[in-house]
Amino acid sequence: MLNINLNGHVAVITGATGELGRSMVRTLSSCGADVAVCYHRAEDRARELVSDAVDKGVRAIAVHTDVTVEESILEMRDQVKATLGDADIIVNNAVIQCYPWLSVLDQPISDYESQYRSCVVHNVLMARAFVPGMMTKDWGRVIAINSECAMQANPGQSAYVSGKRGMDGVLRVLAREVGEHQVTVNQIAPGWMVSDKYRVDGVVSQEEYERSVPLRRRGEDQDIANLVAFLASDLAGFISGQFISVSGGNVMPCI
């Protein structure tokens, strides 16, 4: 039986209190990783996740972080190092998406700029903060959360897609630059997943969307967390530079 054992590893998850982030924290801590729960606004939720992780027998801290600001990320890195040690797994999950989706002709430039900072700059700053330590250890995992939207490029998605495609380019280059140090860099591209807010609202099924999915259903937040755990483990030690769709076949990256 395959076993995902992350004992002795320290994982940093940005956007950890979000819909997908919560499941990532719970899953990585269940696999034995010590976890840094990075949050921007939801401190109470972050504290709950820390308590849950500690109950599983791992170490955990909650850290306020603005992923678009270098000083904030460096302060977070220093807190993690002082409390948990050097992080060797980073999951770049946070994203800004607080705007209406409009046409290219109507979308304010500020929306493109905020999306660029939360996608591209976020990933660059996290790499600069944590990858040098991974290179020293000759072991590390960079896992970034992209989106099926990056391949769909549907009307109204231009700001979001531009940021997600930008981070894709940065991460592919990073994978080539740090691979010799046994640091892997991969992206997960979720579809429209079922998460806590949909369960609470009782709106789990979306028939129009599901008709476009070959599996004819929506995936679960746990499906994303499972892949995060796999990519973080030694089982995925020879997988790097990949954009992996978790969308039930709704989008299919081409060779």
Instruction: Give catalytic residue positions.
Output: 160
According to DSSP, residue 194 is labeled B
Q: d(Cα 119, Cα 163) in Å, to the nearest integer?
A: 5
User: 60 CB contacts (<8 Å, ≥6 apart)?
Assistant: 29, 34, 35, 36, 37, 49, 50, 53, 54
Report how far residue 128's alpha carbon sits from residue 144's, in angstroms, rounded to the nearest whole number: 14
**R_g of the chain computed on alpha carbons:** 17
Return all residues near 83 (Cβ < 8 A) that are at least 6 apart. Answer: 59, 61
Alpha carbons within 13 angstroms on the beta-carbon side of residue 252 total 8
